Structure 1
Amino acid sequence: MKLFGIKNCDTVKKARRWLDDHQITYHFHDFRTDGLDQSILQQWLNYVSWEQLINKRGTTWRKLEDPRKDQLDQQSAVELMLLHPTLIKRPVIEDASGVSIGFNESDFQARYAK
């Protein structure tokens, strides 16, 4: 399992804490320090839509002054996420079943509890 996000994100912290508390092994990939490339985003798009990946509630979105912001399609969304990885909802989790976004304790319990 891989958990993608940024280490100072509260939601990522909750997800990591839950996984640690339940002794579930995962690899943490920090967008800021480890980077993000197009192949990873394209892989995620096999499971979720670009609309699900973009966090329009966050500070990065609100402060974004890019003309593509108002007329997004998949290509422009990917370009923006590569330029501004903090636009991505967090955490993104890759596991054997595919890709999921966000942290919800009951969902984690159902998916990962042993």
Structure 2
Amino acid sequence: MNIQIIGTKKCNDTKKAERFFKERGIKFHFKDLTEKGLTKGELDNIIRKISLDDLLDKEGKQYKKRNLEYMVYDIEEELLNDPLLLKTPIVRNGNDVTLGYQPDIWKKWISE
């Protein structure tokens, strides 16, 4: 397994995802979106499984702060330029990707 958790240290669901894998002794790589955003290649791999519209956190502080609900914009470009607009956590295991806290899916990954 090659687990990557993408999120922020302040996000409760990201913390729960980290705890899920730690409790099971599974190593993971954590990518903090406050320090570094996604590359175009990473985003392309994620949107093969999850739509751009689902990745955009329309309930988040950053979305409201930037008043994006009143603007026309390219979602992909905004997510690449401002990673705090992403819903978190994004958990990757090879080609598999989940969005949010998804312990049932992660348990399936472990048992495979």
Could you list the per-position Cα deviations for residues 30-88 of structure 1 after superposition, in whole angstroms to 9, with x for gaps in the alignment?
A: 11223322221112111111011111111111111358x6335xxx1111112221110
TM-score (norm 2): 0.83
In 2, Cα distance between the equivalents of 1:88 and 1:97?
19
In 2, Cα distance between the equivalents of 1:85 and 1:2?
16
Distance change >3 Å, CA 40–CA 62, structure 1 → 2:
same
Is 1:52 paired with 2:54? yes
Deviation at 1:97, TM superposition (A): 4.5
Unaligned runs of 5+ in 1: none
Unaligned runs of 5+ in 2: none
**Aligned counterpart in structure 1 of residue 86 of structure 2, from 84, 88, 108:** 88
Q: RMSD between aligned alpha carbons?
A: 2.1
Higher helix share: 1
Could you list the per-position Cα deviations for residues 3-24 of structure 1 after superposition, in whole angstroms to 9, with x for gaps in the alignment?
A: 1111121110011011101111
In 1, Cα distance between the equivalents of 2:105 and 2:42?
23
In 2, Cα distance between the equivalents of 1:34 and 1:7?
13
Q: How many residues align?
A: 110
Give the residue type in structure 2 aligned to 1:81: L
**Aligned counterpart in structure 1 of residue 99 of structure 2, from 70, 76, 101:** 101
Give the residue type in structure 1 aligned to 2:5: L
Superposition pairs of residues 16-95 of structure 1, within 5 angstroms: 16-66=18-68, 70-72=71-73, 76-95=74-93
Deviation at 1:25, TM superposition (A): 1.5
Secondary structure of the residue that 2:30 maps to in structure 1? strand
Give the residue type in structure 1 aligned to 2:85: L
In 2, Cα distance between the equivalents of 1:31 and 1:13?
14
Secondary structure of the residue that 2:5 maps to in structure 1? strand
Q: Give the fraction of aligned pairs with identical amino acids, expressed as a percent.
A: 25
